[in-house]
């Protein structure tokens, strides 16, 4: 059985975007070469990636083109290669086609379909998107958090989870620090506290 891991860049106050539409690409992020190479290595080890529509559309707009962009550093072109080749699932009610090794799951039973996917997959399945991660958390299907925490307090903006107000117990599985002041923390989701 696979593990769903919600991987996200966050501020110290657990915001993933400061203004609507920046989709995690804000100027508050400190993504340097060291951090990018670590992300490349971790992404390469995934069994697959599951994206919500908004995150997928941001990724598909940039990463496939980055592979051939000589103005980008090699580690960014490498990530473009990894992302494009990686098996992906797009969870969307509105999209009916997708490229780049992507299949689409939609409809009212999307979470049930993802439960089957998790049961049939060996390895780590990265999850991208707050709405999707929140739905998986509510269904008891989210196994881990991989939070790349940037040394910024945004004060407002979209939170890590959408409209989720139940306490959750976590266990720190591993932690890594980067020269830019960024930390990467991997947590197991144990159970709802209470």
Q: How far apart are CA 134 and CA 37, in angstroms?
A: 28
For CA atoms 178, 62, 67, 118, the dihedral sign is positive
Angle at 45 between CA 43 and CA 46, to 5 degrees: 70
Average pLDDT over residues 168-191: 95
- Smallest CA-to-CA distance from 19 within 183, 166, 157, 164 is with 157
Q: What is the pLDDT of residues 105-135, one digit of tens each?
A: 998 999 999 999 999 999 999 999 999 999 9
- pLDDT at residue 44 is higher than 50: yes
The Cα–Cα gap between 20 and 147 comes to: 20
Angle among Cα 138, 144, 149 to the nearest 5 degrees reads 110
Please, what sign has the CA dihedral across residues 78, 79, 80, 82?
positive
pLDDT, average across residues 70-93:
97
Rounded to an integer, the average pLDDT of 129-157 is 95
Q: Give the 3-state secondary structure of residue 145.
A: strand
| pLDDT (average), residues 80-94 | 97
Q: How far apart are CA 107 and CA 94, in angstroms?
A: 9
DSSP 49: E
Q: What is the pLDDT of residue 193?
A: 45
Q: What is the pLDDT of residue 24?
A: 55
d(CA 50, CA 37): 21
Using the predicted structure, report yes or no on whether residue 82 has a pLDDT greater than 90: yes
Please give the mean pLDDT across all residues of the chain. 93
> Confidence band (pLDDT; 50, 70, 90) for 20?
low
User: Which CATH code is given to the segment(s) 3-58+86-192?
Assistant: 3.40.430.10
How is the chain split into domains, by residue range? 3-58+86-192
User: pLDDT above 90 covers what percent of the chain?
Assistant: 84
Query: What pLDDT score was predicted for residue 21?
Result: 62
Q: What is the mean pLDDT of residues 92-112?
A: 94
């Amino acid at each position: 059985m696979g593990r769903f891991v919600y991987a996200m860049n966050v501020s110290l106050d657990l915001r993933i975007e400061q203004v609507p539409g920046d989709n995690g690409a804000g100027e508050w992020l400190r993504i340097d070469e060291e951090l990018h190479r670590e992300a490349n290595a971790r992404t390469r080890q995934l069994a697959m990636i599951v994206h919500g529509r908004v995150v997928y559309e941001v990724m598909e707009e940039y990463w496939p083109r980055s592979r051939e962009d000589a103005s980008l550093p090699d580690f960014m072109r490498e990530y473009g290669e990894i992302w494009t080749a990686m098996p992906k699932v797009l969870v969307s009610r509105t999209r009916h086609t997708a490229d780049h090794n992507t299949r689409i799951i939609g409809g009212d039973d999307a979470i049930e379909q993802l439960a089957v996917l998790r049961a049939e997959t060996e390895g780590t399945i990265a999850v991208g998107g707050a709405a999707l991660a929140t739905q998986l958390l509510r269904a008891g299907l989210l196994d881990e958090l991989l939070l790349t925490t940037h040394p910024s307090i945004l004060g407002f903006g979209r939170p890590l989870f959408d409209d989720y107000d139940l306490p959750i117990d976590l266990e720190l599985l591993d932690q890594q620090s980067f020269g830019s002041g960024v930390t990467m923390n991997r947590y197991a989701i144990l159970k709802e506290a209470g």
